[in-house]
Amino acid sequence: MKKSLKITRDQKELNPEQLEEAKKYAQREIKKHLSTKRVSKKLVNSYVMNAYKVAGQKLPKKIRWFKSPLESSKHWASVGDSVMASVGASVWDSIGASVWASVGDSVWDSVWASVRDSVGASVWDSVGAYYDANINSYYGFFNEYFEKNKIVWLLKLSENTTGYYFYKNECWIVDKPKTLDLDEQGRLHSVKGKAIEWKDGYGFYFIHGVRFDEKLWKKVIKKGVHSKTVMSIENMEQRMAVLKLHGVEKIIKGAELLDKSNRGNELYLVKGVFSQDALFLKYSCPSTGRVYISGVDPSLPHDADTCMAWKFNISKEDYLKLEVES
């Protein structure tokens, strides 16, 4: 490691090189957590034993491996009291107040923003099961670039499993999924099968980060899906995910464009899809560029900006005064 990357005692803030390294470290952690590559069970078991040891807990008599979260949930009644809290607290206490006091608050805050928040946003949003990824990666950075700490064993566990549970006599390990497919924005997504699936077949269907049951998923991934099928999906997030999958232009193809404003809002009259004619507003989010289609009150004037103002629950005059829509 380059000497300039090492955090020193009494350092008040990260230098530009360290800050950039923290961002790179976060990206490496994201890849590790979302990877389906497995290490040997023997190695993971050693991480478990080390976690118990540094926490001052008696070693578990057995380490159980489960193929999926579903399989582990069927065995809750077969174990004794959980020591998860005591193991976690004991390991975290191993950092020590002196270590916390040895660097400036700005250092902790910078690493928090660069590592913990980045890993949390990417990993949690993709796969919520990896709930410890962010905080463990945060301390993992300090373990590597500042001083060794015992939380590293929890980091190694979260990198190489779906989850882990500490009990007095047993430790449970849920293996990583065999399949984990993401879209270009890092969200669970697949039109070929389950976006996330474990060895025993347990898993879920997702389209651009939105979960679907198998029946609806099979219906909406078809290339020739009818616009009526898509626009009749009650859940807005599911409807938006399918719109993104097939393309907004295809869904509203054939609808009558009633008005297009200078702000890019487009108002369409959709006929023959519902029991009565409907108005749909097409607009984009200024910050993300994501395109949305939303139904509006059919009694509104056929004016796109008026309909957009209606969505904000404000007048058209006030809407036009807004510099940035949110």
pLDDT of residue 86: 62
pTM listed for this prediction: 0.75
| Residues 18, 148 share a domain | yes
pLDDT of residue 95: 47
What are the pLDDT digits (tens) for 269-283?
Answer: 988 666 788 899 999
DSSP letter for each residue of 280-296: EEEEE-TTT--EEEEEE
Let me know if residue 308 belongs to a domain: yes
Instruction: Give the end of a domain, one of 114, 142, 176.
Output: 176
pLDDT at 104 over 90: no
| Residues 263, 165 share a domain | no
Query: Who's near 145: CB < 8 A, 6+ residues apart?
Result: 1, 5, 6, 7, 18, 21, 25
Residue-number span of the structural domain to which 323 is assigned: 252-326
Domains of the chain: total: 2
Report how far residue 285's alpha carbon sits from residue 175's, in angstroms, rounded to the nearest whole number: 38
What are the pLDDT digits (tens) for 43-62?
Answer: 999 999 999 988 888 899 99
Structure confidence at residue 263 as a pLDDT band (50, 70, 90)? very high
| Residues 26, 169 share a domain | yes
Strand order in the sheet with 203-207: 179-180, 196-197, 203-207, 210-212
| Average pLDDT score, the chain | 87
